[in-house]
Amino acid sequence: MNTVHLFLPCAGGVETLLAEEVARVGGATVRDLRTARGGVQLQGGWDAVMRLNLQSRLSQRVLVQLSHGPYRGEDDIYAAAAAVPWEDWFTPRESFKIELTSHQSPLKSLNFAALRIKDAVADRFRERGGVRPDVDVQRPAVRVFAHLAAETVTLYIDSSGEPLFKRGWREDKGEAPLKETLAAAMIAASGWDARTPLYDPCCGSGTIAIEAAQIACNIAPGLLRRFGFERLRPHKAGDWQALKAEAQAARRAPTAPVFGSDVAFRMVDFAQRNAQRAGVADAIEFRGGDALQRMPPSATPGVMLLNPPYGERIEAGGIAGAGREHAQMEGAGDFFTQLASHWKKNYAGWTAWVLSPDAKLPTRMRLKESRRVPMWNGPIECRLFRFDMVAGSARKSEAAGS
């Protein structure tokens, strides 16, 4: 097929990292790559659409742009949608759904705007073939995305189907699990080279460790799942099978050791089962244990990467044997102070990256961050803090506090 315009949405703060990933994954098939608000824009062929769905760890979806133009009201939006040749992309046998987002749109009812787009798609099919596709808001075969800016409407067809953070391996999960795409963003922001040890001492169901192990084994994140583009008319099954075979052949033995631990042994069991489904059970060493007591899992210093629990979740991540009442009384601040003291005493040479919504976390940990990276966890604004555990830091901290 001809070159198409693509938009890959991502979590806020990840745009530059995603652009670097797209350039690496897409290679010569990607042109005119640039960052935008909440994602990246580029041009590419159908090979790029398939390859980015299969290989991208950071994007939420791969959207194919079909229309972009001005609007003043709902009738303009209907006209824009009616002008798109939807019949080139799917048949009336496929159900569809409209998903709409907006930024500074003057329209009073976004639901009505979405309804007008739905009517335009259905009407076009009926006028050309006498049959209109059904709408399915639960499990549609085709997703149509629309974005309303202040003066322009952009229409996309979704090539991903389920969001890309759904890799197909996480069936066991605890409370408030970290999305795989955000875990991958943390790894990318840390600059981990897949050569040195990586350790998550509050691993939960294992998301960070599993993402890291797949990187170390060069396992494409989309190998276990299906994609929306497989239901679209431009899809060629032979090309897709060849691309998947290429990814399968690229798998390798892990280039770095990966470790994870959690105070809740139930979560360690979840993590091990998830790792088995992800194909990296032999590449990760999971253990139970309190983050305030676990010693370094490797004689060689490496990278610690964690999204620690906070608030009412603190008892699940750091105080072994403590109940909810004790955890709330002690508070998150006490946990982080103890954790920092443990690191300074036992983790000299390690680099710790901590994702937290608390901008004052370094003060509470009595550590000086060497870097902070803004990163959004859904609607929550967070910071990814880097702490360098240098030899003698515990003695220096004690002397400064005396």
Q: Supply the pLDDT for residue 384.
A: 97
Burial of 68 (0-12, 13-18, 19+ CB in 10 A): middle
Residues 6+ apart with CB under 8 A from 321: none
Is the confidence at residue 319, as pLDDT, over 60? no
Report the C-alpha gap between 65 and 43 in whole angstroms: 10
Is the confidence at residue 279, as pLDDT, over 70? yes
Is the confidence at residue 141, as pLDDT, over 60? yes
What are φ and ψ of residue 66, in 5° steps? Answer: -115, -20
Query: If DSSP codes are grouped into helix, strand and coil, which group holds residue 303?
Result: strand
Nearest to 166 by CA among 316, 277, 272: 277
Q: What is the pTM (predicted TM-score) of this model?
A: 0.90
Q: Supply the pLDDT for residue 334.
A: 87
Q: What is the pLDDT averaged over residues 315-320? A: 40
Dump pLDDT digits (tens) for 287-301: 999 999 999 999 999
Q: Supply the pLDDT for residue 191.
A: 97
pLDDT grade, residue 1 (50/70/90)?
Answer: low
Give me the residues paired with residue 285 across strands. Answer: 259
Q: Are 342 and 389 in contact (CB under 8 A)?
A: no
Q: DSSP readout, 127-160?
A: HHHS--PPB-SSS-SEEEEEEE-SSEEEEEEESS
Burial of 177 (0-12, 13-18, 19+ CB in 10 A): middle
Report the C-alpha gap between 365 and 344 in whole angstroms: 11
Dump pLDDT digits (tens) for 90-128: 999 999 999 999 999 999 999 999 999 999 999 999 999
* Complete domains list, the chain, with CATH: 4-158 (3.30.2130.30), 180-217+253-401 (3.40.50.150)
Nearest to 200 by CA among 342, 304, 309, 293: 304
Q: Are 376 and 11 in contact (CB under 8 A)?
A: yes
Dump pLDDT digits (tens) for 183-192: 999 999 999 9
Q: Supply the pLDDT for residue 323.
A: 38
Among the listed ranges 134-138, 256-260, 300-304, 324-328, which one has the minimum average pLDDT value? 324-328
